[in-house]
Structure 1
Amino acid sequence: MANQDYVSRTPAKKKKTHHNGKKPAKTANKSSSKSTLISLLLIVLLTAFIYALWSLKTDPSTKTPLVEPIKSVKEKSVSKKTNELPKPPKEKWTYVKDLETKEVEVGKYKVEEKGPYKMQCGSFRTQEQAETLKARIAFSGLEAQISTVTGKNGTWNKVFLGPYPRKRLAEKDRHMLKRNNINYCQIWLWQ
């Protein structure tokens, strides 16, 4: 048996057939007809564009420039008089003059401070729950207190912060607590 060189030999070309055994139609004619149709269309459009430009150039209505006629010296003096603004109308309202002479009466007001405020963050039946909330508030950087109150419904352990001289300071601390997920704190007058 002779050695055959499979690498240098070119493979045999296979004939293309459809699944039904027929040869496919040639697509070279379709692509050449499409390219000629596109080229003809481009030539027609280019010709139409060139004709439109030429017709604009040769049209007599586009040749005359829009120039205003030169006015004589007499016409200029007349036009100056017409360009003057008319006199302003008389004002119907007098509030502008009234405001110039108006005097403002300043009342004497006394700002009353309602007193110190406290912020209550919780009220619990057990001391352990109150201590837990107090520790959470301490981790946020504020110091809370616990007071035990006995009422009609039993004993309650209230967790509160304060006293605050102004309500704005209490609001500031309440926002700090909200950022640390301690919500539902109420600000009340200290009693």
Structure 2
Amino acid sequence: MANQDYISRTPPPKKPAKRRGKPAPKKSAKNSNGVSLKAKLISLLIVILIAAFAYGLWSLKTDPSTKTPLSKPTKVEAAPTSKAKELPKPPKEIWTYVKDLENQDIEVGEYKVEDKGPYQMQCGSFRSQDQADTLKARIAFAGIESQVRTAKGSSGTWYKVVLGPYKRKREAEKDKHILRRKSNNINGCQIWGWR
């Protein structure tokens, strides 16, 4: 038997396996280096565009018409006319309120703002001394000083938690807003004149 050289022989080409129902996938056109034809065309187009842009810039740089500065347009002077220098006379005014205001006397009245007096704020009225002291303590934690007053009436003794006196109502409202905040949660305070 003769010796056969199996190594130097090229193997026969493989046939693709046939799939039932589906066609075989198409291979993209690739070069021997593995780069597709589409990628090569795109890169060639980019190189051409860059070269054209560079050539356009170079031609603008070397063109003699772009090196000379633009000349300023000369002003066309119109022939002087006497009407252009004169302004028209202002029209006669129909209204006389401007002159009336110049001659009118201003009455200066003396207005006096009356202060309605000191104010107080009452935040609660209770039957028991303990409830009034508890509210007084809550108000003290808010940083405001209050006092408990005793009032005797036909229905019995009432203990009122009162803040004040305030010179202005705005000061009482400021403290009222401080007590209404979520951290303090003291609602129902009323502002009255001091008695």
Shared fold (TM-score greater than 0.5)? yes
Cα deviation for residue 159 of structure 1 reads: 0.8
Task: Identify the match of residue 160 of structure 2 among 155, 158, 161.
Answer: 158
Is residue 132–residue 159 contact of structure 2 (8 Å, CA) maintained in 1? yes
TM-score where L is the length of structure 1: 0.58
Task: Identify the match of residue 74 of structure 2 among 64, 69, 76.
Answer: 69
Range with greater deviation from structure 2 (36-45 or 91-100): 91-100
Match of 2:117 in 1: 115
Assess, with a 3 A threshold, how the Cα gap between structure 1 residues 46 and 27 changes in structure 2: closer, same or farther: closer
Assess, with a 3 A threshold, how the Cα gap between structure 1 residues 186 and 80 changes in structure 2: closer, same or farther: farther
Match of 1:89 in 2: 90
**If you compute each CA radius of gyration, which structure gives the higher value, 1 or 2?**
2
CA offsets per residue over residues 53-87 of structure 1, 9 Å max, x none? 669x98x9xx995642355xxx46628974x5734
CA offsets per residue over residues 125-160 of structure 1, 9 Å max, x none? 432121011112223343212223456776542211
Range with greater deviation from structure 2 (124-133 or 95-104): 95-104
Q: Structure 2 unaligned runs (5+)?
A: 1-26
Give secondary structure in 2 for the equivalent of 1:78. coil
Match of 2:130 in 1: 128
Return the alpha-carbon distance in structure 2 between the equivalents of residues 79 and 126 of structure 1. Answer: 100
Return the alpha-carbon distance in structure 1 between the equivalents of residues 82 and 33 of structure 2. Answer: 78
Q: Structure 1 unaligned runs (5+)?
A: 1-24
Match of 1:39 in 2: 43
Match of 1:6 in 2: none
Asked if residue 140 in structure 1 is aligned to residue 142 in structure 2, the reply is yes
Q: Which has the higher helix share?
A: 1
Pairwise CA RMSD: 4.2
Task: Identify the match of residue 175 of structure 2 among 173, 185, 190.
Answer: 173
Match of 1:183 in 2: 186
Give secondary structure in 1 for the equivalent of 2:125. strand
TM-score where L is the length of structure 2: 0.57
Give secondary structure in 1 for the equivalent of 2:107. coil
Percent identity of the aligned residues?
53
